[in-house]
């Protein structure tokens, strides 16, 4: 079955040269079988390996349906994701990571759920395949963020999502770190929409190292998480209290 709606596929990539050829190749195979109108956008976020050269070769192979957005310096996961969203032109936007830990072959599961009235399909990890300490940190982060921001989705930290582009354009993302995922789902939950959730597989990393679990990245993430909590939940409540006090004075 081929879907008539258009899909923009975005891949934030940082030092992901070894995983990109297989990932992009499988992406085109899946899209050509299931979607009539699509584009693939890779964001090279200041990579220090040969990601740029690899992507240039892939663009030559898959043009005109593939484009690359290049950041001369690293802007963080949130910065890369925002650039991918800004470059997207189709009705729906799908994104996942460039490291290949999610199987783009499961994208049809999300496409199937994108029916009339649904604007956001969120994947959730059926099982996390990482070293035990990363599994523990990931679970703790997910539960903490869900409680702190009162998010109903079961997995904030699953970067396997299909979103109506009009919704992305209706919100303004500011995070530059991995907290962009929390900001994204929290702001989307403010929108009047139906959400579907789909279980997807998570695979061990085959190449490179995760940027999220480095000390500097973790500190940046939790700092931005705190700032985001203040901006999204604390300040609006203070504003409402001041408005009510002014009304009754």
Structure tokens at 138: 């990931």
- Rounding to the nearest 10 degrees, give the CA dihedral for residues 21, 14, 212, 122: -60
Residue 210: the pLDDT is: 53
Q: Is residue 12 part of a domain?
A: yes
Q: What is the mean pLDDT of each run of 10 residues along the chain (249 residues)?
A: 93 95 97 97 97 98 97 94 98 94 96 92 87 74 82 90 95 88 88 90 72 62 81 64 51
Residue pair 77/177 in contact (Cβ under 8 Å)? The answer is: yes
pLDDT digits (tens, 9 = 90+) for 94-137: 999 998 899 999 999 999 999 888 999 999 999 886 666 777 77
Beta bridge mates, 94: 9, 162
Q: Is residue 238 part of a domain?
A: no
Residue pair 41/63 in contact (Cβ under 8 Å)? The answer is: no
Q: Which of 152, 4, 180, 3 is nearest to 81 (CA)?
A: 180
- Residues 8 and 163: their CA atoms lie apart, in Å, by 10
Residue pair 7/37 in contact (Cβ under 8 Å)? The answer is: yes
Residue 117: the pLDDT is: 87
H helical segments located in the chain: 20-34, 51-62, 76-87, 107-113, 132-149, 165-170, 180-190, 215-229, 235-247
Range of the domain at 174: 3-221
The burial class, CB within 10 Å (0-12 / 13-18 / 19+), for 241 is exposed
Backbone angles phi, psi at 163, to 5 degrees: -135, 140
- Residues 247 and 235: their CA atoms lie apart, in Å, by 18
- Residues 26 and 147: their CA atoms lie apart, in Å, by 36
Q: Is residue 234 part of a domain?
A: no
pTM over 0.95: no
The burial class, CB within 10 Å (0-12 / 13-18 / 19+), for 66 is buried
Q: Is residue 206 part of a domain?
A: yes
Q: Is residue 232 part of a domain?
A: no
Residue 249: the pLDDT is: 53
Indicate the number of domains in the chain. 1
Q: Is residue 248 part of a domain?
A: no
The CATH number of whichever domain residue 8 belongs to comes to 3.90.550.10
Q: Is residue 231 part of a domain?
A: no
Q: Is residue 72 part of a domain?
A: yes
């Amino acid at each position: 079955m081929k879907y008539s709606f258009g899909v923009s596929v975005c891949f934030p990539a940082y030092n992901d040269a070894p995983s990109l050829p297989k990932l992009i190749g499988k992406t085109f195979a899946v899209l050509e079988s299931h979607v009539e109108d699509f584009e693939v956008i890779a964001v090279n976020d200041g990579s220090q390996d040969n990601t740029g050269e690899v992507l240039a070769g892939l663009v030559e192979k898959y043009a005109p349906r593939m484009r690359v957005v290049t950041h001369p310096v690293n802007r963080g996961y949130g910065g890369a994701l925002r650039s991918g969203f800004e470059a997207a032109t189709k009705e729906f936007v799908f994104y996942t990571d460039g490291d290949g830990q999610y199987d783009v072959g499961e994208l049809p599961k999300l496409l199937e759920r994108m029916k009339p009235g649904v604007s956001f399909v969120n994947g959730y990890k059926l099982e996390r395949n990482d070293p035990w300490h990363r599994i523990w940190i990931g679970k703790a982060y997910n539960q903490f963020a869900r409680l702190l921001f009162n998010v109903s989705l079961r997995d904030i930290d699953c970067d396997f999502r299909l979103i109506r582009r009009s919704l992305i354009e209706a919100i303004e993302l500011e995070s530059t770190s991995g907290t962009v995922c929390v900001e994204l789902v929290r702001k989307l939950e403010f929108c009047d929409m139906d959400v579907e959730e789909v279980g997807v597989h998570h695979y061990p990393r085959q190449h490179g190292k995760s940027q999220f679990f480095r000390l500097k990245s973790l500190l940046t993430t939790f700092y931005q998480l705190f700032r985001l909590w203040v901006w999204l939940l604390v300040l609006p409540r203070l504003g409402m209290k001041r408005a009510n006090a002014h009304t009754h004075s």
